Chains A and B, each alone.
Chain A
Amino acid sequence: MKNSTVNDKIDKEVKDARRVTKNSHFFEIWNRMKRDKNCVISLTFIGLLFFVAIFANFLIDESLVTTQNVAERIQGPSSAHWFGTDLYGRDIFARVVYGSRISLSIGILTTIFATAIGSFLGAVAAYFGGKIDNIITRVSDIFIAIPEQLMAMVVVAAVGATPISVMVALGVVVIPNRCRLVRSTVLGIVDTEYVEAARACGMSDISIIIKEVMPNTLGPIIVVSTQGVASLILTVSSLSYLGVGIQPPTPEWGAIIFEAREFLRIAPYMCLLPGAVIALTALAFNLVGDGLRDALDPRLKD
C-alpha cells in the first residue's frame, strides 16, 4: 500500500487550486478539440487560408491577377505558374489566392451578420411567445421555403451582381434558418430557473435575453455557423458559375471555374485545381464544425 507523504498532500492542494481556476468552458472545449486530428488539420488549413488571404499583397504581386499574357496562355502547372495559366495567360494560382479574399469574406461576413440578426429574432420569438412568436415564425417560414440560389438570383437580377448584393441575398436566406434553430434552443431555456432568478432580481426582458439566454445558445449556433460558412462558399461559387454571381474578371473562385468550363477536356487543371481548393475549404469548415460539436457535447461521442 502506498504511503501518503507530505508531498502527496501538497500535490493534491496544488492540483485542487489549479483545477478550480483554469477550467473555464473555453479551455476545456479547446482541449477536447485539440484531440480530434481532423479538426486540428482543418483548423491549420483554414488558418493558412486566412493568412494567405490577408497577406496576399506581400506574397504575390497583385498585377499577376489581371496581367494578360497571350503567349503563355493555357499552360499546365509548372514551377513558374503553380496552377498553370488560363485562357488569357493569367496566373491561376494568383487568381485563386486573391479570390480567397472574396469567398472568405462573403462567406464569413454574411454568416456573422445573418446569424446575429437571426439568433436575436429567434430568441425574442421564443422568449415572448404569443403574437410576436407567431409573426416572426410565419415570416421566417415564408423565406425558408425559397431555395438559396433562387433567392440570390432574384436579388442579383434586380439589383445587380456586386459582392454586397450577393451578401444581402444570401443573408436573407440564412436569417430564418438561424432564427428557427435559436428559437427551438431558447424554448428549452426560457422555463429554467436561472432565467426566473434573473427576473426575480429585477432584470429587464432584453437584458435577460442578451445576458442570460443567448450565451447558452452559443453551442448550437457556432456549430451550425461554421458549417454554414462552408455551404455559403459553395453557394457563392455556384452563383458565379451560373453567371449570376460575381462577374469576371474579378477572381472569385466560381468565376474562375466559369471561365474555364470550355476547357474542361483540353486543360482540366483549369477547373479541377480551383475546384479542389473550394472543396477543401468547404470540407475544412465542416470538419471544424464537427470537432466543435463533439467538443461542446462529448456525451454524443459515446
Chain B
Amino acid sequence: MSGELLSVKNLEVIYKSSGEMVQAVNGINFSLNKGETLGLVGETGAGKTTTALAVLRLLPERTGKILTGSISFDGKNLLELNDEEMRLKVRGKRIAMIFQDPMTALNPVMSVCDQIAEAIRYHSDKVDKNEIDKKVDHVLEMVGISPSRKHEYPHQFSGGMKQRVVIAIALSCEPDLLIADEPTTALDVTIQAQVLAMMGELRNRLGTAMVLITHDLGVVAQICDKVAVMYAGELIETGTLEDIFVEKEHHPYTMGLFGAIPNLGGESKRLHPIAGIMPDPTELPVGCNFQERCPHVMSICLDTNPEPYVNGTHSIACHLFTEKCNVGGDNYE
C-alpha cells in the first residue's frame, strides 16, 4: 500500500478549435499511492474528464494539447513516451480506463467473451486458447457474471451488467491504476450500489489504485481514500477523506456543494444552492475563478489567483485561509 504510483504536477491542457483557444485544465497537482482511491469531484465542465484523458494521452488529436506539466507514473514521465510506447506498455496494461455510458462502450457485434479475450491477448503473452478461456471465466466470476453467459452479446445484458463487463475488460490485465469516469452515473441507484460494492471488493483484492471521477459526494464517501475537488480547470481543494468530510475548514465551493445536496435527515424544506453558474472556460475572470459565486469574496480575490493553503494533507486554494481570516459562523450544513 505504500509507494507513489501517480504524480501529476502543474498540468495544463488546452483545446484549440477554429481559432479559439480554451484553457480546460489550468495547472493542477495531485498524487496517488499504490492501492489508493482518489475521488476527483467536480461539476460539468470542471475539467475532470480532460484530466483523465490527458493522463492516458487520449486527448482528441487535432484539438487537445498538453501545454506543460509532468505526469509521472511509477517513476516514468508519461509525457516523454511516444504514442506507440503508450499504446503497448501503458494503456490497458498498466492504466485502464472505463467510461460513463455502458451502452456504447461495448462492441455490439462481438460476444462478451471475445471482447474480454481480445483485451487479454493484446496485453499479455498468453496465446494458448484454453488459458485465455480460463482467464475470461475467472474475470467474469470476479465481476459477478455467470461464465455460462460469456457467449452472449452486449444487447442481451442490462445496463448494470454491461458496466460489469466493461469493468471486467478493464481489470482483466490487472492494471496498476484504474481510471473510472463516472462509472455509475448512468445506472439506477440500486444497481449503482451493487456495482460500487463490487468495485470496492475488486480493488481490495487486486490492490488496484483508482481515480474515480464523479460529481456525487455520496459515492466519494463510500469508496474513496482521498478527494480532489475541481472547479473551472483548477483543483481548489484536496485532502484525505477525513479532511473533506470531517474537518470544518473548506473552500467556499466545497461548502456550497455540501449545502446544495438534498438532505435526507434535515427538517428544512429549502435547499441552499450556490448562486450563479460555472464561468465559461473562454471567459475566465482575472483572479479567483469562483469570485462571482462566492459569498465570502474579498477585493484580493478579484485580481490575485489564490495560492494553496496547506495544512498537513489538506490543501485549500482560497484567500480566506492564506489571509488567515475566519470564515465565521457560516455553516451550510
Stretch at the interface among B83-91, B212-220, B297-305: B297-305
User: Chain B residues near A35 (CB, 8 Å)?
Assistant: 18
Residues in B1-39 with C-beta less than 8 Å from chain A: 17-18
Flag if B18 contacts A4 (CB, 8 Å): no
CB closest chain-A residue, reference B287: A4
CA distance A12 to B285 in the complex (A): 10
Answer whether A302 and B62 are a contact pair too, CB < 8 Å, given A4-B302, A35-B18. Answer: yes
Is B286's CB under 8 angstroms from A1's CB?
yes
B60 within 8 A of A: yes
In the complex, which residue of chain B has the Cβ closest to the Cβ of A2? Answer: B286
Interface size range of chain A in the complex: 10 to 19
Q: With A and B bound together, what is the CA distance between A238 and B63 in angstroms?
A: 45
* B303 and A302 form a contact (CB under 8 A): no
Is A204 an interface residue, CB under 8 A from the partner?
no
Alpha-carbon separation in the docked complex, A129 to B286 (Å): 55
Contact among B17, B286, B302 with A302 in the assembled complex (CB-CB below 8 Å): B17
Contact present for B62 and A1 (CB under 8 Å): no
Give Cα distance in the complex from A3 to B302, angstroms: 8
Closest A residue, CB atoms, query B286: A4
Complex CA gap A29/B9 in Å reads 40
Contact A302 to B287, CB < 8 A, known contacts A2-B303, A4-B303, A35-B18: no
Complex Cα–Cα for A1 and B286 (A): 8
Interface residues of B, dominant DSSP: loop
Chain B residue nearest to A16 (CB atoms) is B283
Interface residues of B in 260-297 (CB under 8 A from A): 283, 285-287
Residue of A nearest to B63 (CB): A302
A35 to B304, CA, bound (A): 38
Interface of chain A residues 1 through 36 with chain B (CB within 8 A): 1-4, 8, 12, 32, 35
Whether A1 contacts B303 in the complex (CB less than 8 A), given A35-B18, A298-B18, A302-B17, comes out as yes
Residue of A nearest to B17 (CB): A302
Q: Name the interface residues of A248-298: CB closer than 8 Å to any CB of B.
A: 298
* B63 cross-chain contacts in A, Cβ below 8 A: 302
A1 to B302, CA, bound (A): 11
Q: Which residues of A contact B17 (CB under 8 A)?
A: 298, 302
Alpha-carbon distance between A1 and B301 when the two chains are bound, in angstroms: 12
B311 shortest CB reach to chain A, Å: 25
Which residues of chain B are near A32, meaning CB under 8 Å? Answer: 18
Contacts of B285 in A (CB 8 A): 4
CA distance in complex: A35, B20 (Å): 14
Which partner residue on chain A sits nearest B283 by CB separation? A12
Write out the residue numbers on chain B whose beta carbons fall within 8 Å of the beta carbon of A2. Answer: 286, 303
B interface list, Cβ under 8 A from A: 17-18, 60, 62-63, 283, 285-287, 302-305
23 A-B pairs whose Cβ atoms sit less than 8 Å apart in the complex: A1-B286, A1-B303, A1-B304, A1-B305, A2-B286, A2-B303, A3-B286, A3-B303, A4-B285, A4-B286, A4-B287, A4-B302, A4-B303, A8-B286, A12-B283, A32-B18, A35-B18, A298-B17, A298-B18, A302-B17, A302-B60, A302-B62, A302-B63
- A residues engaging B (CB < 8 A)? 1-4, 8, 12, 32, 35, 298, 302
Further 13 A-B residue pairs, CB within 8 A, beyond A2-B286, A3-B286, A12-B283: A1-B303, A2-B303, A4-B285, A4-B286, A4-B287, A4-B303, A8-B286, A32-B18, A35-B18, A298-B17, A302-B17, A302-B62, A302-B63
6 cross-chain pairs, A with B, having the tightest CB-CB distances, nearest first: A4-B286, A4-B303, A2-B286, A3-B303, A4-B302, A302-B62
